[in-house]
A and B are shown apart, each in its own frame.
Chain A
């Protein structure tokens, strides 16, 4: 089932695809985080917007990944931009849901106390609310990164896809080795991202333990 000599001969292209995969996940994650951050600030300014935003992201999240990528395609074509926009949309949805849920679960009396101590709205958010919601936020990032690693492979169908391209190669040549290699590497990469955010969580939230 596995042709080791193929792996030895092709370690360089495989490595390049892996690097491409990491790049796509990182780009998607970063831009998703950025937009999610802006939206959270928006809900801070206009709290009424929080519910519709959660509802809207819930609806958008149900759109099948391939369909989402394809619906972006008319604007940006078969390019890396299309994959990054699609990936960041998914990232945005998961991060936004987790962060807003985390912020909403903060006890209301803490806000009152902060205000009584003379905190401004922004000071209260940065100094009190955000640290309290940090566990939920990081949990969201863990889920997001693992999901994105899998989603990147789908973009192989629109000409991108990092390691996902090996699935296409394997199917086209009826050769299982690339498919197995890609599956194993994808899962390992997902666990690496998961572990990264897990360690970040342990490092940042030391006060809980």
Chain B
């Protein structure tokens, strides 16, 4: 009971919300770092995945990369990056980008690769150009898988950005790491609750967005009669 009232008290203090290292600005930092990293990761992984799927090269490399990406411990990557390149916010961003490329790349590759080749031939035979086939057939059909890759990358990014606070990175992880250092239980619990809420909120938002996009553009389904 003590702990719950302690956490409640911690949340009720305005100085924990406002100011330079308050919850709001740390949350802003966290969201900024995560969105920056996922944008860069997408800019690299999406075109690369599409290219590899089109030339059907490197399939085994993609899978190996995916497994490696899952096996690499994020804490180690962040710490090694900082020790080798030196401490800068951009170093941590690079590490975050590297960690989120594998899920996006693999899902893009598999999403496009798994499309029934007879559909592509059909598109060709009714006179669709390569680009049209890509934007009107391949992309919509691969969309659910590509999007689920993005979602897992996002969830992983939010978690890794939290851990990166150990190496001096900003964002919501600061509350957890600083609290652990000072043995300040209400602050650790408060920070953990806020970062969990952020992760769950972004996952819910993604899921709502996917439903909306699927309904609007009818992605991921083949009209009856085409196949």
- Chain A interface (Cβ within 8 Å of chain B)? 1, 58-59, 61-68, 70-71, 73-74, 143, 146-147, 149-150, 153-154, 156-158, 164, 167, 170-171, 174, 176, 179-180, 182-183, 186-187, 190-191, 194
Stretch at the interface among B53-61, B88-96, B191-199: B191-199
Q: B24 at the A/B interface (Cβ < 8 Å)? A: no
Among A62, A67, A156, A170, find the residue whose CB has the most chain B CB atoms closer than 10 A.
A67
Please name the residue on chain B nearest to A174 by beta carbon: B83
Query: Which of B68, B75, B82, B195 touches A154 (beta carbons < 8 Å)?
Result: B75
On whether the beta carbons of A63 and B72 are closer than 8 Å, the reply is no
Taking CB atoms, residues of chain A closer than 8 Å to B192 are: 66-68, 70-71
Q: B189 at the A/B interface (Cβ < 8 Å)? A: yes
Given contacts A63-B199, A170-B83, contact A146 B70 (CB under 8 A): yes
On whether the beta carbons of B80 and A176 are closer than 8 Å, the reply is yes
Q: B166 at the A/B interface (Cβ < 8 Å)? A: yes
Please name the residue on chain A nearest to B7 by beta carbon: A74
Given contacts A66-B159, A74-B185, A191-B71, contact A171 B76 (CB under 8 A): no
On whether the beta carbons of A66 and B162 are closer than 8 Å, the reply is yes
On whether the beta carbons of A70 and B76 are closer than 8 Å, the reply is no
Q: B74 at the A/B interface (Cβ < 8 Å)? A: yes
On whether the beta carbons of A73 and B188 are closer than 8 Å, the reply is yes
Taking CB atoms, residues of chain B closer than 8 Å to A179 are: 76, 79-80, 83
